[in-house]
């Protein structure tokens, strides 16, 4: 449905921000270019929206890329049913506020076979509730391009991925035969059933993301900021203990700690960090002295060697 934007709206009322520094401006320009290129070349693009900080930046850039028009594709959230409660609330708020189209998909096998991170282990659980669910949702929507917020600095196999990452009809990535990608000329030619994953944030680092969130005043889930929260310690991770489905094992006890999250995913698989960072400034200075990478808190990346590449080959983002 076309939306009308009267001319008067062209002056964005909230534009009192100072201009971006050249480093962030270059990253922003590149991302907007990619958004526009994909939107123009593909018939049915979709944007993967995981509600985390990278997704928040991605959404902000999409709104910028198509302004004064509306974001011309839907957002897709693959909901495992085990996300942090605050994430879901935040998602619905964004959709409302920015007039977005949202598609939510949960793998029906989750409920039917009672698949949980506790009963099936992180590897199998992720495989079914994330990878398989994503494939189902992409097939159902017949999407030929899907934007993702992955960054090359996150992980060694991501560092190898193209900005337009070609996928076979069964969503496989073949890291040994990627299309050459020269300059900023992207090859979007595919056959029916094939698709492309497009990564506008490829060249951003974690610090860039935070500095951009700060500069652009982008809303993010409050879990990123430190606060006293109930946690339980399990497998060397601090897990948020607010969901009644989290059963305490023998020897475990709930306690309160001032914590925050560096990445957000499924709460039973995402470890918190001890931190007193309550502002964006705090987070950025914490990052600049951090001695571990952001992936550290994620069980899914550690469960086997080369696990991210394997998941990606099978269609994971």
Partner 1 sequence: MTAPALANAALDETAVALPVQETARVVRDTRPLRLITCGSVDDGKSTLIGRLLWDTKAVKEDQAASLQRDSNGKQNDLGLPDFALLLDGLQAEREQGITIDVAYRYFSTDKRSFIVADTPGHEQYTRNMATGASTADLAVLLVDARVGLLEQTRRHATIATLMGIRQFVLAVNKIDLTNYDRARFEQISHEFKELALSLGVRQVTAIPVSALKGENVVYDGRASMPWYEGPTLIEVLELATTRSAQTVGFRLPVQRVSRPGESFRGYQGTVAGGSVKPGDSVVILPSGMVANVTKIVTFDLVRNAAVAGDAITLVLDRQVDVSRGDVIATIDSQPMIGLAFDAQLVALQPEGIQPGKRYWLKSGSRRQRVQVQPVSQLELKTGKWNHADELPMNAIGKVHLAFDEQAIFDTYEQNRTTGAFILIDPDTNNTVAGGMITAKRAALGGIHTEESRVILSLPADLADQLMATELFANRREDVEVRRVTAGKAVEIIDTIDQ
Query: How would you label 154-183 residue by residue, b for 16+ Cβ within 10 Å and e otherwise?
Result: bbebbeebbbbbbbeeebebeeeeeeeeee
Sign of CA dihedral 7, 16, 200, 87: negative
Answer whether 87's CB lies under 8 Å from 53's CB: no
Query: CB-based burial of residue 292 (10 Å sphere; 0-12 exposed, 13-18 middle, 19+ buried)?
Result: exposed
DSSP-derived letter for residue 159 is: G
The reply to whether omega before 13 is within 30° of 0 (cis) is no
**Closest distance to partner 1 from the beta carbon of 35 (Å):** 9
**Closest distance to partner 1 from the beta carbon of 81 (Å):** 29
With tokens 């009322």, the residue in question is 13
Instruction: Check residue 254 for interaction with partner 1 (CB under 8 A).
Output: no
Site map (CB under 8 A) of partner 1, residues 144-173, x = contact: --------xx-xxxxxx-------------
Query: Within 21-80, which residues bind partner 1 (CB under 8 A)?
Result: 21-26, 28-29, 32-33, 36-37, 39-40, 63-70
Closer CB to partner 1, 13 or 251, in the complex = 13
Q: Could you give the strand order of the β-sheet that contains 45-48, starting from the edge strand earlier in sequence?
A: 102-105, 75-78, 45-48, 145-147, 195-198, 164-167
Task: Please tell me the total number of residues recorded for the chain in this structure.
Answer: 317
Query: Within 117-136, which residues bind partner 1 (CB under 8 A)?
Result: none
Closer CB to partner 1, 114 or 291, in the complex = 291
Query: Within 97-116, which residues bind partner 1 (CB under 8 A)?
Result: none
**Closest distance to partner 1 from the beta carbon of 123 (Å):** 16
**Closest distance to partner 1 from the beta carbon of 205 (Å):** 5
SS3 content of the chain, % helix, strand, coil (to 5): 40, 15, 45
DSSP-derived letter for residue 256 is: E
Closer CB to partner 1, 253 or 292, in the complex = 292
Count of residues of this chain found to bind partner 1 when the rule CB under 8 A is applied: 71
**Closest distance to partner 1 from the beta carbon of 207 (Å):** 8
Instruction: Check residue 234 for interaction with partner 1 (CB under 8 A).
Output: no
Q: Which of 31, 47, 40 is nearest to 147 (CA)?
A: 47
Strand partners, 196: 145, 166
Closer CB to partner 1, 79 or 153, in the complex = 153
**Closest distance to partner 1 from the beta carbon of 145 (Å):** 14
Query: Within 172-231, which residues bind partner 1 (CB under 8 A)?
Result: 175-176, 178-185, 187, 189-191, 202-203, 205
Closer CB to partner 1, 69 or 121, in the complex = 69
CA dihedral 81→225→211→200, nearest 10 degrees, is 0
Closer CB to partner 1, 41 or 79, in the complex = 41
Site map (CB under 8 A) of partner 1, residues 294-313, x = contact: -xx--------xx--xx---
Instruction: Check residue 1 for interaction with partner 1 (CB under 8 A).
Output: no
């Amino acid at each position: 449905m076309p939306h009308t934007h009267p001319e008067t709206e062209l002056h964005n009322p909230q534009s009192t921000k100072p201009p971006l520094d050249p480093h962030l401006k270059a990253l922003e320009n590149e991302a907007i270019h990619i958004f526009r290129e994909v939107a123009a070349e593909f018939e049915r693009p979709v944007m993967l929206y995981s509600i985390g900080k990278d997704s928040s930046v991605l959404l902000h850039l999409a709104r910028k890329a198509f302004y004064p028009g509306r974001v011309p594709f839907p957002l897709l959230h693959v909901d495992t049913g085990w996300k942090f409660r605050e994430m879901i609330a935040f998602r619905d708020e964004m959709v409302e506020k920015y007039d977005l189209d949202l598609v939510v998909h949960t793998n029906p096998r989750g409920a039917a076979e009672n698949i949980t991170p506790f009963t099936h282990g992180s590897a199998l659980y992720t495989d079914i509730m994330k990878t398989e669910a994503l494939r189902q949702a992409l097939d159902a929507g017949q999407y030929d391009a899907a934007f993702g917020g992955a960054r090359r600095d996150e992980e060694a196999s991501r560092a190898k991925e193209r900005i337009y990452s070609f996928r076979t009809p069964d969503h496989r990535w073949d890291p040994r035969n990627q299309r050459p990608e020269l300059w900023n000329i992207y090859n979007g030619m595919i056959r029916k059933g094939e698709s492309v994953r497009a990564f506008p944030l490829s060249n951003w680092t974690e610090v860039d993301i935070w500095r951009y969130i700060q500069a652009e005043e982008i809303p993010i889930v409050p879990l990123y900021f430190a606060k006293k929260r109930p946690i339980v310690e399990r497998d060397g991770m601090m897990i948020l203990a607010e969901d009644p489905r989290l059963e305490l094992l023998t020897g475990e006890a709930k306690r309160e700690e001032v914590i925050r999250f560096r990445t957000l995913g499924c709460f039973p698989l995402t470890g918190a960090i001890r931190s007193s960072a309550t502002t964006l400034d705090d987070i950025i200075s914490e990052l600049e002295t951090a001695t571990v990478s952001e992936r550290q808190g994620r069980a899914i990346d550690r469960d086997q060697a080369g696990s991210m590449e394997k998941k990606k080959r099978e269609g994971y983002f």
